[in-house]
């Protein structure tokens, strides 16, 4: 354990310190974007498409412009002169042709077509209702099945595959491998679409000041990241933009980066020259904010006779909608499915698909499907193999003795404690007693069930991909003796002002009440991506830790110097600086500060005046959190209703700064998990209309749906400074399988939940399992898609196509375009040649069929993969694809040189 | 979510309200508690020219006893009705159903008349009016009329009310002292509209059911009076009651539909079960072996 003894007697680490944020939030004095009032501000409302797919024939804004109080109406044509580079969270360009407002076509219901600027939101809405939009409707693609067979959502695209990774060959290899397995178990889960539903909807107030500068109050998860993304998107200097976000009511991933409406508000404010405010309403939030989940996965795993995992393979599809905040095949689902389990081989294909529905955004534990499908499959397998659900995990979990352990996809874990969390949970629960109760209850027609789930979660990532960086803490003791810290953390409910003040107070030896935290402003502190990826306690916590200790060292040095004592004899307790054995020489921190600021000649020679400390903490690339959960339910066999009776969490989030905040994070994630398993659903009809447009139809978990959770903190410090591990997303990841497994266990006398588990498990679906028949009602919303004739594949083979020669080619990759030169020589149906790139030249052989070239190249760096090229030569141009193992395909184009 | 522009009137009498409604020629909407109307206005699903606020009409509030019944003013707040001694004494089924309407906070604004007149088919109060045999008093510049609750509802949010008409009272007939309250609902969260639910009352004389009124909610386009089940129950001996047959008959009058919260088949199946369970519980009957 690398925690030094506290400097002072008062410990704040690990205490349920009252939150600094509570006073203003609980008395209605928080400052959210809509609370910011600016003189001269105008209000924005959007006229949105009520059609899921079609060509815009005309937009008539004249009636809206005639309405008194309407100041302007913009369409995309008005923004044509403003280039906007839409980026995803990782700063990679969005591939779909996304624009601020619909550009000639609409691709989903709710897409903004026109922006009305008026003196009030009400007038703006009146104006929006007067914008006449004529759209030539086309049949929309709504479901994943539609996407696979329908014409491309985005004209000019080859198909509806938004992103693709993995390799069919890897699945075939696993199928072969599992042929002799004692047990092969499959499970499919269709996860519904989720509306993110933060308490505060999206919001933006853009205030142009002077010469091209702007202050933007934004509902976001990091003002620094938002400012950086806005500057990159708009080609501005970061210093021209100041993003402020004092209080934000929930983010969950939706507010990671500014999206169409927020950027449009900024652009419009520059254009119009007055402050503009857009406050998303709940109807917009439910139907037109980026949605989440909507995934379909099938996992198959093979076991030996004793239940040891042999290998597994999965096929995964996700409905990315029309305008995802980053095309996403969700590789993380596969990366993080198995590092905690001793699986020997894994294969997968994973795809994201475009449809004519609202786009997909990140949502608390975006890869959570890995835990859901794995843990549900494991309990199903245990029942099939005839071993206990705990035992199957004991036989497969990575233990301390197994570590360091590297998963088949290359994730190395060296300090995970999933097995220990599970044992702590099992010891707490008295499972034999429950099984007895369960058997007794069944005799009386009551159906109790217990479900488990164990998982690991990557947290506190830094240094391996944009924008995940370290964090900076600037801590100073003011001349008054009070402590001020300027941080790049951000709280959308996380309570970072509380936890960071606890760390600083603890490490510096001052009172928690004497530490003030400044955050939430891109003009303060240094860059960090704020909330996202369960990172702030880990990284900002480490930064505060070291910055405060360094500052304490300076205080001790100063005190030792002015007291003629040794530094080792100085201690700081509750803001008082003491010298061992000389109580009469104790000084307040204020007295030391007054010397440091006002009488610098009394400082040690060469020491800078003041009491300031700045530290940027770069943690290990990834810090793993582990947990095991259990939940007990009772299912009513007459109504199919599920009642959660008990829920226990045994989590290892390392050093706990504040147990109340850790528990709040877990509980919040679990509430979302309960919503996802039992209640929440954003269905679309066949015309592409979202069907849950109010909270009457979109069922959020209420307090009556969420039990009191039991927390068994099973913490072991991590390898970071301070030893923290992230805990922000875990509940939403481990919660769903825990609850699904409990329901499956309760329903075991009636059979399994089926080959496909479709979420949410509504009373109708649960009762269907009990009754052993489909009770219907969950109609497939697949539109009547006209199967598109397959696009003609290249021209008919050209006899004696002229192929031989050299071509300058460009490969499109997520990291940008890569240039290379290809030299091709044909000899009948044989192909040979070399590919030249900045990394060097590599020879190959392959085949020719008409004008089509196929060849493979094996590369060692950055990892061992085989690149499969498939190119067509037409005249002097060459085009095609290269398949890069699990990293998907890239397009290639080029011309003869 | 801001309402489209509208005019506002707050008449002091029923006559004045009727005059405004008449002059508006169908363009008026009444507001009492606004718990349904305000969201509809904000979503612009309702865009009246004029909003007629009936909260200033003294005669539309409160509970009174008349010949053979209890009269509830339509602008009576749900929370006041819940606490009302007369209603608790004479109409326990009404109070039981009302306790499931919305939430504590919404009941402070929501009114009895608003719930009855809106005609949400999955709501408790329209079904209660139908089951208990309420009469609905209606006024307009053309005069007054009274419509039985069972004839009041035409479809989802559709009633016999003409655009110029105003509900001025709901009169619930008396049920004998000591009558049995029948109520059960299945809702995903407290305060949600029911996936299926039922409400009613029964008078028992000796071993026989002397009088019964029963209605389902969430089981069709309107509250559904269980005509066939009532016929089977009326006069039936408790000792030989075939509860399952009654339950089947109750559901036979329903026409539930699919939505993404529950299927029609679910509603039928569970509706039948809750009716059977409610009758067994109310009449202390054992499940047949």
ipTM score above 0.90: yes
What are chain A's domains? 22-28+464-617 (3.30.365.10), 40-138+212-232+257-281 (3.90.1170.50), 291-460+622-771 (3.30.365.10), 805-896 (2.40.128.120)
* H helix count then E strand count, chain B: 12, 14
Kindly give the residue spans of alpha helices, DSSP state H, lying in A273-395: 282-288, 331-335, 369-385, 389-394
Q: Which of A110, A134, A104 is nearest to A46 (CA)?
A: A110
Contact A778 B186 (CB under 8 A): no
pLDDT digits over A167-201, tens only? 899 999 999 999 999 999 999 999 999 999 999 99
Q: Which of A193, A445, A638 to mutate to test the interface with B (most CBs of B within 10 A)?
A: A638
Spell out which residues of chain B touch residue A779, defining contact as CB-CB under 8 Å: 258
| A695 vs B: CB within 8 A | no
Mean pLDDT of A3-14: 62
Token code pair at residue A294: 């909507």
The Cα B248–Cα B251 span in angstroms is 5
Q: What does the pLDDT read at residue A885? A: 66
Q: What does the pLDDT read at residue A438? A: 98
Q: Tell me the count of A-B CB pairs closer than 8 A.
A: 87
| A788 vs B: CB within 8 A | no
Residue A616, pLDDT > 50, answer yes
Question: CATH fold of B58-173, please?
Answer: 3.30.465
C-alpha distance from B243 to closest chain A C-alpha (Å): 16
Interior angle at CA B137, CA B132 and CA B142, nearest 5: 155
Contact A699 B270 (CB under 8 A): no
Spell out which residues of chain A touch residue B273, defining contact as CB-CB under 8 Å: 638-639
| B180 pLDDT tier (thresholds 50, 70, 90) | very high
Architecture of the domain defined by B7-56:
2-Layer Sandwich (3.30)
Q: Which residue among B43, B44, B258 sits closest to A776, beta carbon to beta carbon?
A: B258
Token code pair at residue A82: 């403003």
Report which of residues B288 and A228 the model is more confident about. Answer: A228
Per-residue buried b or exposed e for A263-285, using 16+ beta carbons within 10 Å of the residue's own CB: bbbbbbbbbbebbbbbbbbbbbb
Q: Which residue among A129, A281, A775 sits closest to B1, beta carbon to beta carbon?
A: A281
Provide the 8-state DSSP code for A269: H
pLDDT digits over A349-389, tens only? 999 999 999 999 999 999 999 999 999 999 999 999 999 99
Q: What does the pLDDT read at residue A789? A: 45
Contact A775 B266 (CB under 8 A): yes
Q: Which residue among B44, B189, B269 sits closest to A767, beta carbon to beta carbon?
A: B269
Residues of B at the A interface (Cβ-Cβ below 8 Å)?
Answer: 1-5, 39, 43-44, 186, 188-190, 192-193, 195, 258-266, 269-270, 273-274, 277
Spell out which residues of chain A touch residue B260, defining contact as CB-CB under 8 Å: 681, 683, 691-692, 697, 762, 777-778
Residue A796, pLDDT > 70, answer no
- Percentage of chain A lying above the pLDDT 70 cut: 95
Q: Which of A528, A477, A500, A509 is nearest to A577 (CA)?
A: A509
Strand partners, A221: none
Q: Which residue among A281, A692, A699 sits closest to B188, beta carbon to beta carbon?
A: A699
pLDDT digits over A457-477, tens only? 999 999 888 899 999 999 999
Q: What does the pLDDT read at residue B67? A: 83
Q: What does the pLDDT read at residue A866? A: 76
Torsion, Cα A492 A264 A88 A814, to 10 degrees, reads -170
| A252 pLDDT tier (thresholds 50, 70, 90) | very high
Token code pair at residue A800: 């004696």
Contact A763 B258 (CB under 8 A): no
Domain B180-282 homologous superfamily, CATH? CO dehydrogenase flavoprotein, C-terminal domain (3.30.390.50)
Contact B189 A697 (CB under 8 A): no
In chain B, domain spans: 7-56, 58-173, 180-282
């Amino acid at each position: 354990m690398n925690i030094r003894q506290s400097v002072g007697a008062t410990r704040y680490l690990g205490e349920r310190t009252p939150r600094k944020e509570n006073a203003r939030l609980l008395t209605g004095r928080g400052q959210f974007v809509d609370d910011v009032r600016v003189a001269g501000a105008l209000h924005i409302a959007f006229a949105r498409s009520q059609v899921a797919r079609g060509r815009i024939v005309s937009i008539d804004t004249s009636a809206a412009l005639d309405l008194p109080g309407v100041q302007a109406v913009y369409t995309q044509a008005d923004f044509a002169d403003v280039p906007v580079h839409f980026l995803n969270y990782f700063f990679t360009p969005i591939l779909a042709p996304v624009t601020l407002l619909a550009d000639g076509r609409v691709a989903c219901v709710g897409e903004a077509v026109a922006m009305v600027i008026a003196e009030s939101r009400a007038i703006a809405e009146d104006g929006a209702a007067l914008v006449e939009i004529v759209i030539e409707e086309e049949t929309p693609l709504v479901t994943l099945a539609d996407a696979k067979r329908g014409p491309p959502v985005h004209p000019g695209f080859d198909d509806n595959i938004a992103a693709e990774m993995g390799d069919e060959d890897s699945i075939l290899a696993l199928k072969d491998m599992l042929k002799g397995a004692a047990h092969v178990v499959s499970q499919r889960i269709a996860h519904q679409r989720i509306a993110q539903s933060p308490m505060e909807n999206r919001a933006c107030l853009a205030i142009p000041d002077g010469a091209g500068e702007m202050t933007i109050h934004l509902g976001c998860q990091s003002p620094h990241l938002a400012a950086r993304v806005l500057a990159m998107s708009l080609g501005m200097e970061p210093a021209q933009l100041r993003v402020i976000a004092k209080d934000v009511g929930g983010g969950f991933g939706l507010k990671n980066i500014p999206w169409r409406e927020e950027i449009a508000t900024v652009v419009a404010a520059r254009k119009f020259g007055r402050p503009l405010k857009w406050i998303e309403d709940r109807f917009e939030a439910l139907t037109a904010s980026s949605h989440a989940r909507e995934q379909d996965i099938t996992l198959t795993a093979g076991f030996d006779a004793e239940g040891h995992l042999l290998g597994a393979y999965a096929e995964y599809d996700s409905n990315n909608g029309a305008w995802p905040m980053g095309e996403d095949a969700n590789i993380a689902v596969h990366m993080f499915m198995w590092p905690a389990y001793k699986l020997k081989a894994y294969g997968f294909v994973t795809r994201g698909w475009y449809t004519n529905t609202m786009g997909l955004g990140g949502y608390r534990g975006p890869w959570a499907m890995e835990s859901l499908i794995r843990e549900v499959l494991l309990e199903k397998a245990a029942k099939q193999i005839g071993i206990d659900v705990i035992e199957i995990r004991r036989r497969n979990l990575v233990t301390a003795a197994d570590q360091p352990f590297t998963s088949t996809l290359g994730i190395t874990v060296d300090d995970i404690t999933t097995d220990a969390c599970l044992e702590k949970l099992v010891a707490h629960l008295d499972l034999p007693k429950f099984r007895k109760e369960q058997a007794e209850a069944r005799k009386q027609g009551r159906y109790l069930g217990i479900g488990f789930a164990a998982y690991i979660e990557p947290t506190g990532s830094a240094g391996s991909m944009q924008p995940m960086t370290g964090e900076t803490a600037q801590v100073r003791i003011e001349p008054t003796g009070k402590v001020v810290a300027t941080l790049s953390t951000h709280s959308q409910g996380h309570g970072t002002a509380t936890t960071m003040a606890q760390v600083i107070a603890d490490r510096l030896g001052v009172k928690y009440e004497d530490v003030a935290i400044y955050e939430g402003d891109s003009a303060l502190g240094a860059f960090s991506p704020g909330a996202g990826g369960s990172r702030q306690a880990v990284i900002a916590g480490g930064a505060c830790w070291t910055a405060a200790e360094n500052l304490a060292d300076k205080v001790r040095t100063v005190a030792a110097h002015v007291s003629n004592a040794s530094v080792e004899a100085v201690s700081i307790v509750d803001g008082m600086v003491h010298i061992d054995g000389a109580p009469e020489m104790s000084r307040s921190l204020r007295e030391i500060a007054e010397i440091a600021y006002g009488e610098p000649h009394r400082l040690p020679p060469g020491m800078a005046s003041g009491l300031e400390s700045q530290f940027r903490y770069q943690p290990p690339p990834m810090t793993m959190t582990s947990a095991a959960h259990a939940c007990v339910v009772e299912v009513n066999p007459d109504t199919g209703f599920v009642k959660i009776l008990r829920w226990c969490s045994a989590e290892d989030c390392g050093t706990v700064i504040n147990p109340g905040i850790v528990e709040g994070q877990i509980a919040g994630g679990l509430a979302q998990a309960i919503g996802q398993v039992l209640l929440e659903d954003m269905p679309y009809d066949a015309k592409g209309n979202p069907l849950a447009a109010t909270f009457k139809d979109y069922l959020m978990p209420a307090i009556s749906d969420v039990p009191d959770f039991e927390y068994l903190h099973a913490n072991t410090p991590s390898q970071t400074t301070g030893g923290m591990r992230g805990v922000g997303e875990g509940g939403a990841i481990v919660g769903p399988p825990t609850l699904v497994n409990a329901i499956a266990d309760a329903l075991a006398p009636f059979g399994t939940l089926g080959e496909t588990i479709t979420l949410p498990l509504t009373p109708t679906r649960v009762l269907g399992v009990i009754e052993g028949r489909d009770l219907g009602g969950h109609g497939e919303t697949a539109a009547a898609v006209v199967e598109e004739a397959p696009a003609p594949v290249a021209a008919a083979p050209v006899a004696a196509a002229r192929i031989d020669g050299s071509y300058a080619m460009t490969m499109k990759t997520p990291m940008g375009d890569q240039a290379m030169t290809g030299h091709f020589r044909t000899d009948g149906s044989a192909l040979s040649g070399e590919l030249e790139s900045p990394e060097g030249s590599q020879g190959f052989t392959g085949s020719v069929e008409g004008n089509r070239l196929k060849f493979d190249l094996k590369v060692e760096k950055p990892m061992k993969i085989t690149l499969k090229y498939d190119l067509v030569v037409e005249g002097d141009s060459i085009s095609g694809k290269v398949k890069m193992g699990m990293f998907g395909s890239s397009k290639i184009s080029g011309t003869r040189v | 979510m801001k309402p489209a522009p509208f005019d506002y009137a707050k008449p002091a009498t029923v006559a004045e309200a009727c005059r405004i409604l008449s002059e508006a020629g169908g363009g008026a909407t009444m507001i009492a508690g606004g718990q349904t109307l305000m969201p509809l206005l904000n979503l612009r699903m309702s865009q009246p020219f004029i909003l007629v606020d009936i909260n200033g009409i003294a005669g539309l509030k409160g509970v009174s006893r008349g010949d053979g019944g209890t009269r509830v003013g339509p602008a009576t707040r749900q929370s006041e009705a819940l606490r009302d001694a007369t209603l608790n004494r004479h109409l326990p089924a009404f109070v039981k159903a009302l306790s499931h309407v919305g939430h504590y906070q919404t009941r402070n604004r929501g009114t009895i008349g608003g719930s009855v007149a809106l005609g949400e088919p999955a709501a408790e109060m329209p079904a209660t009016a139908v089951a208990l045999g309420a009469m609905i008093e209606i006024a307009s510049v053309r005069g007054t009329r009274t419509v039985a609750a069972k004839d009041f509802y035409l479809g989802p949010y559709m009633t016999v009310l003409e655009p110029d008409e105003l509900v001025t009272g709901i009169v619930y007939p008396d049920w004998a002292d000591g009558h049995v309250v029948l109520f059960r609902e299945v809702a995903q969260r407290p305060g949600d509209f029911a996936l299926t639910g039922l409400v009613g009352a029964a008078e028992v004389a000796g071993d026989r059911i002397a009088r019964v009124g029963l209605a389902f909610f969430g089981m069709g386009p309107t509250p559904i009076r269980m005509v066939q089940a009532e016929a089977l129950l009326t006069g039936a001996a408790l000792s030989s009651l075939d509860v399952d047959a009654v339950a089947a008959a109750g559901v036979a009058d329903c026409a539930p539909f699919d939505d993404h919260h529950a299927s029609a088949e679910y509603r039928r199946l569970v509706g039948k079960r809750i009716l059977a369970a409610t009758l067994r519980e109310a009449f202390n009957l054992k499940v047949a072996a």
